[in-house]
Homo-oligomer: A and B are copies of this chain.
Amino acid sequence: MRLALAQLNTTVGDLTGNCALLRDAYRRASDAGADLMLAPELAITGYPPRDLLAKRRFVQDNLRALDELAGAVGETGLLVGYVDNNPNRPGRDYLNAAALIHRGKIVARRYKTLLPTYDVFDEDRYFQPAEANTIVEFAGVKIAITICEDIWNAEDRGSGRLYRRDPVEELATTGQPNLILNISASPFHLGKESLRSEMLRAVALKYGVPLAYCNLVGGNDELVFDGQSLVFDAAGKLLTQGAAFREDLLIVDIPGASVPPVVPAVHCAAIHDALVLGLRDYVRKCGFKSVVLGLSGGIDSAVTAALAVAALGRENVMGVSLPSQFSSQGSLDDAKALAGNLGIRYEVVPIQESFAKLRGSCQELFRGLPEDTTEENMQARIRGAILMAISNKFGHLLLTTGNKSELAVGYCTLYGDMNGGLGVIADVPKTMVYEIAGYINRDRRIIPEASITKPPSAELRPNQTDQDSLPPYEVLDVILKRYIEESQSAAEIIAMTGYDEKLVRDITRKIDLNEYKRKQAPPCLRVTTKAFGIGRRVPIAQRYVE
């Protein structure tokens, strides 16, 4: 049997556009003599559709799109994800579904059994699980059709398995499949590829049949889907592997000759590519072409600018320096040099006079009170207002350049440097920002040396550095990873790292207290196992202290 795996970049809600992608891939699969083409989970609607599913008409439209698509299917079969109505009550309105289409007709419909409802996933909110799982016969092959999470039940989630049902086991015991198919929308995070590959290989081996896994690719708000579709033979040998972070159409004969796995990219390369894809797709899918960002001369804005150029081309990126009396000449030079190295448009808009006037307008009110972070925030907010004015006037999307470490502890100004439509590196800890900078400079110096080597500073008062308020980033990032990604308590972190108790508790407290800032942050591209955003839902008005 010849399979085609269409690793497509769908857009949420774009039923027409998604079906056009499907038809185009289908034609190529058909030309290549494939017996069956796989497309990702919910390829018709895009993933995740979230509360678009509250629109009854949206689901009707997706069913109509599926029917029209069926009309274009000939001898080569098509397995594609869509949303189906749930005919059985009581229950949820919808099913997360896969249609097997052949010769213009839907010949089988199968439904997702395990509905992820944790981290960034909310599928219990929308879908009823499948009642039962049965084998589908196609072209003489007995096929076990599964949708994403259905195949993940072996995974131990901290304190044990999450689900009582095992759809693959149900399929194996009620029929004897010759082939397992899995259509997915499995988002990237650091380390996910190897986890996924090992898990899928183990399933192929356990049941002794070939397994084909077709994943979504592309950015959708916070989520970046990495593609990297996989096909294993019955012995768990890799037959083919899809490209990472771009569309691909794999053609594979089952059984076929095994191939050596593509060695996973070094992790900063993977993160770099994930961010480029997430950034490009957010801009494109929101209907923008170009972006603007503030260039401080520091490493965060430099890395963000380089990612933007990789995503959109240098002609679509504008960098703006917004110097004040506290900006060093070095920072200005570094910003300018970066813009020159990247070949992007570069403008300088000094904020000194606006700052003086804004501060002057509050002079009466603040009489007798000492200067504090109020005046620092004012500078950040003037910069934010100017960048938004440029965004408004020219139609460039403003990018937010803050990293995860500063967003975690609130070392950033709401309505100031937090302004923007997308937090490009907001899930990248500062220490990893340095690694990505090294990767960006791997062939030639794009980010100026000084931006990498000088002590990080917000330059909001004379001689300020980040480490006036924060521990070294090497220490901070360890605490953040343990607290945010691994849900360790302050006491556990102290015991396991030997760090000073006061330091650790100060940091975890800062993280808790700054939930209100993150509530108003733009969407952040997710690259770690726990990003700020939809996958982390912490109350603001709360008083728990560990």
Per a CB cutoff under 8 Å, which of B353, B522, B540 touches A519? B522
Given contacts A378-B389, A415-B415, contact A164 B90 (CB under 8 A): yes
Query: Does A33 touch B at the CB level, under 8 Å?
Result: no
Query: Does A198 touch B at the CB level, under 8 Å?
Result: no
Asked if residues B541 and A281 are in contact (CB atoms below 8 Å), the reply is yes
Given contacts A51-B537, A388-B381, A390-B362, contact A542 B13 (CB under 8 A): yes
A372 to chain B, nearest CB (A): 7
Interface size class of A (residues with CB under 8 A): 35 or more
Query: Does A523 touch B at the CB level, under 8 Å?
Result: yes
Contact with B along A514-546 (1 / 0, CB 8 A): 001001111100000000001011111111101
Per a CB cutoff under 8 Å, which of B361, B369, B390 touches A349? B361
Given contacts A91-B164, A164-B90, A415-B385, contact A52 B159 (CB under 8 A): no
* Chain B residues, Cβ within 8 Å of A534: 537
* Chain B residues, Cβ within 8 Å of A389: 358, 362, 366, 374, 377-378
Task: Give complex CA distance A492, B93 in Å.
Answer: 20
Asked if residues B366 and A393 are in contact (CB atoms below 8 Å), the reply is yes
Question: Looking at the complex, which of A117-125, A294-302, A336-344 is the stretch in contact with chain B?
Answer: A117-125
Query: Does A15 touch B at the CB level, under 8 Å?
Result: yes
Query: Does A260 touch B at the CB level, under 8 Å?
Result: no
Number of copies of this kind of chain in the complex? 2
Task: Give complex CA distance A491, B55 in Å.
Answer: 12
Query: Does A145 touch B at the CB level, under 8 Å?
Result: no
Asked if residues A489 and B57 are in contact (CB atoms below 8 Å), the reply is yes
Asked if residues A54 and B487 are in contact (CB atoms below 8 Å), the reply is yes
Asked if residues A285 and B542 are in contact (CB atoms below 8 Å), the reply is yes
Asked if residues B14 and A540 are in contact (CB atoms below 8 Å), the reply is no
Query: Does A373 touch B at the CB level, under 8 Å?
Result: yes
By secondary structure, the A interface counts as loop
Within 8 A of B (CB), among A187-237: 219-221
Asked if residues B13 and A543 are in contact (CB atoms below 8 Å), the reply is yes
* Chain B residues, Cβ within 8 Å of A286: 516, 540-541
Given contacts A124-B117, A385-B382, A546-B57, contact A12 B541 (CB under 8 A): yes
Most interface-central of A13, A14, A356 (chain B CB within 10 A): A13
Most interface-central of A12, A17, A219, A419 (chain B CB within 10 A): A12
Asked if residues B55 and A487 are in contact (CB atoms below 8 Å), the reply is yes
Query: Does A494 touch B at the CB level, under 8 Å?
Result: no
> Across the two chains, which residue of chain B brings its CB closest to A378?
B389
* Chain B residues, Cβ within 8 Å of A419: 415
Query: Does A325 touch B at the CB level, under 8 Å?
Result: no
Question: Looking at the complex, which of A42-50, A242-250, A497-505 is the stretch in contact with chain B?
Answer: A42-50
Query: Does A172 touch B at the CB level, under 8 Å?
Result: no
Query: Does A411 touch B at the CB level, under 8 Å?
Result: no
Task: Give complex CA distance A393, B378 in Å.
Answer: 11
* Chain B residues, Cβ within 8 Å of A219: 541
A493 to chain B, nearest CB (A): 11
* Chain B residues, Cβ within 8 Å of A52: 538-539, 542, 544
Task: Give complex CA distance A25, B489 in Å.
Answer: 32
Asked if residues A13 and B539 are in contact (CB atoms below 8 Å), the reply is yes
User: 6 smallest A-B Cβ distances: which pairs?
Assistant: A13-B544, A90-B161, A285-B541, A13-B542, A14-B543, A12-B542
User: Assuming A14-B543, A374-B393, what are 10 further A-B pairs, CB within 8 angstroms?
Assistant: A17-B543, A55-B489, A55-B546, A93-B158, A349-B365, A356-B357, A377-B392, A381-B415, A519-B522, A520-B521
14 A–B contacts, CB within 8 A, in A order: A17-B543, A46-B542, A50-B537, A55-B546, A57-B546, A58-B544, A58-B546, A89-B161, A90-B162, A286-B540, A358-B382, A365-B393, A382-B385, A385-B385
